[in-house]
Structure 1
Amino acid sequence: MDFQLSAEQSARRDRVLRQVAEAFPAGRPPGFAREDWRTMGELGLLGTCLPAEYGGGGLGALDTALVIEAFGRACTDTGLVFAASAHQFACSVPVAAYGTDAVRKGRLPDLVSGAAVAGNAMTEPESGSDVSRLRVTARQVPGGWVLDGTKSFVSNGPVCDLLVTYATSDPDLGHLGQTAFLVDASAPGVRRSGPFDKMGLWSCRAGSVDFEECFVPDEQVLGRPGAGAAVFQASMGWERACLFAGYVGLLDRLVERCVRFARERRQSGRPIGSFQAVSHRIVDMRLRLEGARLLLYRACAEMDRGERAVLPVALAKLAVSEAAVAGALDAVRVFGGRGYLADDGIEAMLRDSVPAVLFSGTSEMQKEIAARELGL
């Protein structure tokens, strides 16, 4: 097993680190801006794994993860990294994999360039991690489908142009009765809330979406009717692996900041890093980072080989998300009172890390998936 990055991978990573740091400097206020999306499109951050014929990078899962890790490492606005990743992996990936030729040609170039923003509409108020019992319904009519119901916690929902959503098209078939759709956010019957007031990830606007007799033409079904669960799980494989590479980048930045602070901050006439209570905590942070990174790389490598990567992806998502929260809490303690203040940005990294154990399937759900894969 080769742990060394190739010259091409190293050059790509270094380029992303440099370009992102220049485009999104530390200290810039969080928020949504269309020009940020166009910039991310120009830097290739919105179509890393998408086909080159639509403007994408055409990279595999591991190379994509390396790019998103560098994005998360260089960009202190984790909400922006998350918004872009949700756009690409939860929305553009299923459009590329399951959309009709006309939909791919008509939609993907704008999604890759940042001219259009996509929102992932899966979660519902009464079915968070249980995606087999969706209350949003899809009723077939001549020429298409009519959607009714409510989605919640839609990433990019209040500001998006397109929605990838899932609905129950046959309630008697369970997970085999779900269908995936690409919906224009401006279509009649789509009503979106304003942005939720969230703990963190402020640059990723999230809200609810109501579908009221919303007509979706047949050509905007992703995959075939009834295959929505398969479409969703395929996109989740990319999201749980590559989106969380951004959190690996955050952890890398967090460890580096703690090391630098522990060398410079003095207490009782000596650097605080010379105290075991501090140095051992930072070593634990690095240990969790390296373990999570290796699990994520392995999951992506198995995806690239075309193997069934359900277990490694679940373990990687679990390890990265838990390491992010634990590492951010450790960083607050290393920085002490300064870690509690907004000026140093440590508390923001904690707020941005907490949702990682909730979205894309909670940590408990990842353990359930792993247990099933182990035959338990």
Structure 2
Amino acid sequence: MDFDLAPGQRRRVERIRDAAAGLPRPERGQAAGRELWQAAGELGITGLCLPEEYGGGGLGALDTALALEALCDGGADTGFAFAIAAHLLACGTALAEHAHDQVRADLLPGLSSGKTIAANAMTEDEAGSDVSRLATTAEPADDCYVLNGVKSFVSNGPLADVLVTYAVTSPAAGYLGLSAFAVPADSPGLRIGPTLAKIGLEGCAAARVEFADCKVPRRYLMGAEGQGSAIFQRSMSWERACLPAVYLGTMQAQLNRCVTHARERRQFGRRIGDFQAVSHRLATMKRRLESSRLLVYRACWDVDHHSPDAAETAALAKVAVAEAAVANSVDAVRLFGARGYLAGEGIGGQLTDVVPLHLFSGTTDIQQEIVAKGMGL
């Protein structure tokens, strides 16, 4: 079993890590604008796993995760990296695998370049972890579907050019009554609300979205009617495996900064890193990072090889990274002391960026349930 990166992988990781340092960071409290999206597009970040024929990188899940990790390790804003992951993993993969040929040709080149931004509109007020309770409907009418409903917490919503959304087309069919759509943001009857104020991940703008007799041409149906649940679960296998890599990069950059601080900060005539209470805390932070990194890489390998265990390993990886990222961020604040609580230092802000990892793409409790079922419980 070879744990080393191939030369091509190593070069790609180093190129992205070095380039990430030159990307501008959004102003505090502001979402990343289109200029930053296009800058990331020029680096190939916004099309990592999209097909090469449409300008994407054609990468598998593991190489996509490595790139997202390198992006944050190099210093990119965690919220912006999260926005790119939503654009790619929840939306881009679904469009690439299930959209009609003409829709793919129309949308994927823009997604790959960063000129077209995608938003995932799945969650509703009464349908978060329980996606079987979706209230948004899509009724066929002549050459279109008419969508009605409200989606909440739509990442990239305020900037979106296209939304990947899910609606009930056959209420009596239960799980098989859900269908997936790609909806252009300028569709009549589509209303995108104001940007939601969040305490973290501010680089990723989010909003509520309303479909009010929104007419969507039939060509924007992804797959066939009733395939929405399968399409969603496939996109979630990508997102749950790859998105935590964003936080691996954030944790690596955080740990590097903490080690530097422990070497330079002196108290009682000694470097604070010479005190066992500090050095052991740093060793624990490294252990959390390295163990969760192995689980993420394994989950991505399973996705790439269509392993039947992919859902379970992705769940394990997401839980491990969530717990490690929160614990490491608390330890980082403690290590920096009062400085860690200052907004300008950026250490405390990392904590508010990592807490949502317990919530999105299926809560930690849902991931634990997936693991339990995988053990036959």
Q: Give the Cα–Cα distance (whole angstroms) in 2 for the partners of residues 145 and 238 of structure 1.
A: 28
1:93 matched to 2:93? The reply is yes
Query: Which residue of structure 2 lines up, in the alignment, with residue 43 of structure 1?
Result: 43
Deviations 1:183-209 (A, max 9, x none): 011111111111111011111100100
Query: Which residue of structure 1 lines up, in the alignment, with residue 132 of structure 2?
Result: 132
Question: Which stretch of structure 1 is more off in the superposition, 321-330 or 26-35?
Answer: 26-35
SS of aligned partner of 1:2? coil
1:271 matched to 2:275? The reply is no
1:363 matched to 2:358? The reply is no
1:3–1:178: structure 2 CA closer, same or farther, 3 Å change rule? same
Pairing of 1:155-166 with structure 2 (within 5 A): 155-166=155-166
Cα pair 2:199 2:352 within 8 Å, conserved:
yes
Question: Which stretch of structure 1 is more off in the superposition, 73-82 or 213-222?
Answer: 73-82
Query: Which residue of structure 2 lines up, in the alignment, with residue 61 of structure 1?
Result: 61
Q: Report the CA distance between 1:228 and its aligned residue.
A: 0.5
Q: Which amino acid aligns with 2:111?
A: L
Query: Which residue of structure 2 lines up, in the alignment, with residue 117 of structure 1?
Result: 117
SS of aligned partner of 1:140? strand
Query: Which residue of structure 2 lines up, in the alignment, with residue 325 of structure 1?
Result: 326
1:145 matched to 2:145? The reply is yes
Q: Report the CA distance between 1:32 and its aligned residue.
A: 2.6
In structure 1, the gaps of 5 or more residues are: none
Query: Which residue of structure 1 lines up, in the alignment, with residue 178 of structure 2?
Result: 178
Q: TM-score normalised to the size of structure 2?
A: 0.97
% identical equivalent positions: 52
Q: Give the Cα–Cα distance (whole angstroms) in 2 for the partners of residues 183 and 229 of structure 1.
A: 17
Pairing of 1:220-259 with structure 2 (within 5 A): 220-259=220-259
Q: Report the CA distance between 1:24 and its aligned residue.
A: 3.1
Q: Which amino acid aligns with 1:323?
A: A
Q: TM-score normalised to the size of structure 1?
A: 0.97
Q: CA RMSD in A?
A: 1.3
Cα pair 1:26 1:76 within 8 Å, conserved:
no
Q: Give the Cα–Cα distance (whole angstroms) in 1 for the partners of residues 79 and 353 of structure 2.
A: 7
Cα pair 1:133 1:174 within 8 Å, conserved:
no
Q: Report the CA distance between 1:278 and its aligned residue.
A: 1.4
Query: Which residue of structure 2 lines up, in the alignment, with residue 200 of structure 1?
Result: 200
Query: Which residue of structure 1 lines up, in the alignment, with residue 354 of structure 2?
Result: 353
Cα pair 1:46 1:113 within 8 Å, conserved:
yes
Q: Report the CA distance between 1:350 and its aligned residue.
A: 0.8
Q: Which amino acid aligns with 1:345?
A: G
Q: Report the CA distance between 1:76 and its aligned residue.
A: 3.9
Q: Which amino acid aligns with 1:312?
A: T
Q: Give the Cα–Cα distance (whole angstroms) in 2 for the partners of residues 303 and 32 of structure 1.
A: 29
SS of aligned partner of 1:163? strand
1:218–1:25: structure 2 CA closer, same or farther, 3 Å change rule? closer
Deviations 1:310-362 (A, max 9, x none): 11111011111221111111101111111100121101111111111100111
Q: Which amino acid aligns with 2:249?
A: G
Give the length in aligned residue pairs: 376
Q: Which amino acid aligns with 1:139?
A: E
